[in-house]
């Protein structure tokens, strides 16, 4: 039996992906600059390449692209496939460089495989399953905006835009086969320390340094890898006016993450407590603004969505691995909105850096996993 021929039975691995078309699509996606706000350029690559498949497209008011692809010989609840269309910076003038082992940037920008590898995999998987003529469930495609700047598209997404309540998010930095079943919650803080300005040379005793306050607070905060499931970071600090002025104000931004919401609560209290104590020590004040960036989630190993992911990975000839991550993704927001969302390893390497690259093998593997998701749903 020829490996090129799609077998009509659902017995196994029978949808053939077109590796050249996949690479061509991936390069076309990479070549458009799509920082948050410019995702229309990605939409303009996706739509023409997916004509003739029966997909009904629409955009929601936030710029997310939603496609409904009817089932073939099957009905029922669709599954949702998601990837995000934006990338981090710098991307202007991105020139993808194809080498033997994968696709790289030219070193002056990120590659943007995060998450255009996910977009390309979904596009090719749909086309390959369509071409195979095999039965498949209805599929909903959701391509989001602004993931990397703060899950903007998925936070704004109205879950009634889709019928599916199982979503597969192609956006984990794991090797292909990785299935994220545990992800952290994240709390963000902006501390504004307030002291009193004074001439630093003439009458420093009349001043209260907000910078010294901030320094003491930071020194008392549990930071870095706080424990096995908890991390914290001082991301930015600004303050002061001049060499010769005791600083009246300093602003410190801190994030904390934990796989446990209860543990995150304690970590948040520790960080805020350190800030208040330092302000009190100096006779100054601190304003604390906090917000929950996203909430921790955990999926059961035998959740139907997780089991479908496992089955698809196995059908693609790979080994499923359930992992916990320290990162955030659109899966956080969809899970919060009642759409069970499984984030899957895409296999991109060194994301958010100019050395980011996408191995050819991983791109093909994640595409095969996606075809199996569509076939087995």
**Would you name the residues annotated as active-site residues?**
86, 147
Where on the phi/psi map is residue 289: left (φ > 0), alpha (ψ -120 to 50), or beta?
beta
Instruction: Please count the residues of this chain forming the interface with Zn ion, following the rule CB under 5 A.
Output: 3
Both structure tokens of 243: 């060499």
CB 66 within 8 A of CB 164: no
Q: What is the contact mask toward Zn ion in residues 15 to 44, using x (rule: CB under 5 A)?
A: ------------------------------
User: Smallest gap, in angstroms, from Cβ of residue 295 to Zn ion?
Assistant: 18
Instruction: Quote the least distance from Cβ 141 to Zn ion, whole Å.
Output: 17
Tell me which residues in 266-305 interact with Zn ion (CB under 5 A): none
Q: In whole angstroms, how close is the CB of 173 to Zn ion at the nearest point?
A: 8
Minimal distance, residue 148 CB to Zn ion, in Å: 6
Residue (39 or 114) nearer to Zn ion, CB: 114
Name the one residue in this structure whose structure tokens are 């805020």: 272
Stretch of 6-14, 70-78, 107-115, 276-284 contacting Zn ion, by CB under 5 A: 107-115
The enclosing H or E element of 361 equals helix 360-376
Site string for Zn ion, 155-184 (x = CB under 5 A): ----------------x-------------
Nearer to Zn ion, 171 or 333 (CB): 171
**What six digits make up the tokens of 255?**
């994030």
Q: From the CB of 180, what's the least distance to Zn ion, in Å? A: 12
For Zn ion, the closer of residues 114 and 124 by Cβ is 114
- 111/91 Cα distance (integer angstroms): 7
Candidate segments 5-13, 47-55, 106-114, 334-342, binder of Zn ion by CB under 5 A: 106-114
C-beta closer to Zn ion: residue 282 or 348: 348
**Placement of tokens 């929950």 in the chain:** 292
Report H helices in 203-351: 210-220, 261-282, 304-315, 330-336
Which one, 140 or 171, has the nearer CB to Zn ion?
171
Say which DSSP state 298 is in. Answer: E
Establish how many alpha carbons lie within 13 A of residue 16's alpha carbon, considering only the half-sphere containing its beta carbon.
11
Residue 174 Cβ, how far from Zn ion at the closest point, in Å? Answer: 12
Q: Do the beta carbons of residue 56 and residue 67 sit within 8 Å?
A: yes
φ, ψ dihedrals at 218, nearest 5°: -60, -40
For the segment 108-137, give every residue that binds Zn ion (CB under 5 A).
Answer: 114-115
Per-residue DSSP letter, 54: -
Residue among 225, 230, 235 nearest 255 (CA): 235
Q: Which of 373, 79, 145 is nearest to 68 (CA)?
A: 79
Q: Cβ atoms within 10 A of the Cβ of 352, count?
A: 12
Instruction: Please state, in angstroms and rounded to a whole number, the distance separating the CA atoms of residues 199 and 51.
Output: 69
Q: Does 86 bind Zn ion (CB under 5 A)?
A: no
Choice between 170 and 286, CB closer to Zn ion: 170
Binding site for Zn ion (CB under 5 A): 114-115, 171
């Amino acid at each position: 039996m020829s490996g090129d021929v799609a077998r009509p039975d659902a017995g196994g691995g029978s949808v053939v992906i077109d590796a050249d078309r996949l690479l061509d699509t991936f390069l076309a996606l990479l070549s458009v600059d799509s920082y948050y706000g410019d995702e229309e350029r990605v939409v303009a690559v996706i739509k023409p390449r997916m004509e003739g498949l029966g997909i009904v497209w629409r955009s929601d008011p936030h710029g997310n692209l939603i496609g409904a692809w009817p089932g073939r010989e099957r009905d029922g609840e669709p599954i949702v496939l998601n990837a995000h269309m934006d990338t981090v910076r710098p991307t202007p003038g991105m020139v993808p460089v194809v080498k033997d082992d994968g696709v790289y940037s030219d070193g002056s920008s990120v590659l943007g495989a995060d998450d255009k590898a996910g977009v390309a995999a979904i596009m090719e998987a749909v086309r390959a399953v369509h071409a195979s003529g095999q039965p498949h469930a209805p599929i909903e495609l959701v391509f989001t905006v602004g993931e990397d700047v703060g899950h903007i598209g998925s936070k704004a997404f109205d879950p009634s835009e889709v019928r599916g309540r199982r979503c597969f998010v192609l956006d984990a930095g794991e090797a292909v086969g990785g299935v994220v079943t545990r992800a952290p919650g994240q709390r963000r803080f902006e501390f504004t320390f307030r002291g009193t300005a004074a001439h630093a040379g003439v009458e420093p005793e009349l001043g209260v340094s907000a910078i010294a306050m901030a320094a003491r607070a930071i020194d008392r905060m549990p930071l870095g890898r706080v424990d096995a499931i908890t991390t914290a970071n001082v991301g930015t600090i600004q303050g002061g006016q001049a060499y010769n002025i005791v600083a009246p104000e300093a602003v410190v931004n801190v994030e904390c993450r934990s796989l446990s919401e209860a543990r995150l609560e304690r970590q948040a209290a520790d960080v805020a407590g350190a800030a208040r104590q330092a302000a009190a020590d100096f006779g100054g004040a601190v304003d604390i603004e906090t917000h929950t960036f996203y909430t921790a989630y955990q999926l059961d190993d035998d959740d139907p969505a997780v089991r479908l992911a496992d089955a698809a990975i196995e059908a693609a000839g790979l080994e499923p691995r359930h992992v916990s991550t320290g990162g955030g993704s659109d899966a956080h927001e969809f899970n919060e909105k009642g759409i069970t969302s499984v984030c899957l390893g895409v296999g991109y390497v060194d994301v958010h850096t100019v050395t980011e690259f996408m191995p050819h093998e991983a791109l093909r593997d994640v595409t095969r996993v996606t075809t199996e998701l569509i076939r087995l749903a």
